[in-house]
Amino acid sequence: MKIGCIIEARMTSSRLPGKVLMDIWGKPAIIRQIERIQRSRFIDSIIVATTINASDDVLVELLEKENIPYYRGSEDDVLGRVAETASYFNLDVVVEITGDCPLVDIAESDRVIERYLEGGFDLVSNNLLRTYPIGMDTIAVANRVLQETARSTGDPAHREHVCLYLYEHPFDYSFSNIEAPPFLRDAKLRMTLDTKEDYEFIGKIYEELYPQKADFNLYDMMRLLNRKPELRSINNNIMQKKVR
């Protein structure tokens, strides 16, 4: 069984253009995210699904330099782009982590993958019922289901959000949700990279934790925020964009 993590990434973010290449402790954000995902116990390959736009040439140059596999597809049809990527790389299981998660704790993501591998579900996620901070989102879905989804809908919202069609057809597929352990529960906490304030927050997390422990995890981050609650004020006024 081939398990691939597909990271959706592009340079033309509406809120924070170029965010995937913004510097985080000396390296581009996308590289920091990939470093964290590489520690997974289950993921065989990490692939960036970017676009055919000329604006993403600079991202592709970085990926080629770092020997990171990638696929280029439609900017607006994200579902199609991810499905094409999964088909091109012949994946059995797709682990979806969007390209704005440079703090993702892959040990918590592995809990999602492990539940999927236990069998019985088409899709396992940790955000069907959100208990983790925003930015820890991980989905494991069968590639056959992803391909079926891509053939089944032309709804613009479904094409923009990879698993929205599945979530809106709960009686057609089997789901499971992983909830955060008590100490890690904070559904409103932003650990995603989407605004200047998020970038400042993430920079502070790396500044505080990375020099002592390069593979810091979500427990380390929550302990830091308990010690320094003022860090939460950096981006706690940012509203998460709604899917619909």
| 217-226: pLDDT as tens digits | 999 999 999 9
pLDDT higher than 80, residue 241: no
Collect all residues with Cβ–Cβ distance below 8 Å to 170 and sequence separation of at least 6: none
The gap from C-alpha 44 to its chain's centroid, in whole angstroms, comes to 16
| 179-203: pLDDT as tens digits | 999 999 999 999 999 999 999 999 9
- 78: phi then psi, degrees, rounded to nearest 5: -70, -40
- Report how far apart, in Å, the C-alpha atoms of 207 and of each of 106, 186, 200, 223 are: 20, 22, 10, 15
pLDDT at 219: 98
CA distance 84 to 150: 9
pLDDT higher than 80, residue 24: yes
pLDDT higher than 70, residue 145: yes
Top-tier CATH class for 3-187: alpha beta
Domain residue extents for the chain = 3-187
CA distance 105 to 68: 20
Indicate the pLDDT class of residue 88, thresholds 50, 70 and 90. very high
pLDDT at 244: 64
Indicate the DSSP class of residue 222: H
pLDDT higher than 80, residue 87: yes
Find the largest Cα–Cα distance for the chain: 49
pLDDT at 6: 98
pLDDT at 64: 98
Q: In this structure, are strands 23-24 and 139-142 parallel, antiparallel, or unpaired?
A: unpaired
Burial 150-186 (b: 16+ CB within 10 A, else e): beebeeeebbebbbbbbbeeeeebeebbbebeeebeb
pLDDT at 159: 96
* For the chain, percent of residues with pLDDT exceeding 90: 96
Mean pLDDT for 47-64 is 98
Indicate the pLDDT class of residue 242, thresholds 50, 70 and 90. confident
Averaged confidence pLDDT in the chain? 96
